[in-house]
Amino acid sequence: MSRRHDPERRQRIIDAAIRVVRRKGIAGLSHRSVAAEADVPLGSTTYHFTTLDELLVAALRQSNEGFDTVLAAHDRPEGDLATDLARALGEWLGGERTGVELEYELYLAALRRPALRPVAAEWTEETAERLARRTDPLTARALLALMDGICLQVLLTGTAYDERYAREVLARVIPPTGGAPGT
What distance in Å separates the CA atoms of residue 93 and residue 43, rounded to the nearest whole number?
37
Query: Is 141 or 180 the better-scoring residue by pLDDT?
Result: 141
pLDDT of 89-111, one tens digit each? 999 998 777 778 888 888 888 88
pLDDT value for 182: 43
Residue 169, classified by CB atoms within 10 Å of its CB into exposed (0-12), middle (13-18) or buried (19+), is middle
Cα–Cα distance, 147 to 5 (Å, whole number): 43
158 Rama class: left (phi>0) / alpha (psi -120 to 50) / beta: left
Domain at 60-173, CATH class: mainly alpha
17 vs 58: CA distance, rounded Å: 9
Nearest to 63 by CA among 23, 18, 129, 114: 18
Q: In the prediction, which pLDDT does 1 show?
A: 45
**175: amino acid identity, one letter:** P
Give the other-Cβ count within 10 Å of 95's Cβ.
Answer: 13
Given this model, what pLDDT does residue 47 score? 94
Dump pLDDT digits (tens) for 113-171: 999 899 889 989 999 999 999 999 999 999 999 999 999 999 999 899 999 999 999 99
Distance of alpha carbon 123 from alpha carbon 134, whole angstroms:
18
- Assign a CATH topology to domain 1-50: Arc Repressor Mutant, subunit A (1.10.10)
How do the domains of the chain map onto residue ranges?
Answer: 1-50, 60-173
The closest alpha carbon to 179, from 132, 122, 141, 121, belongs to 132
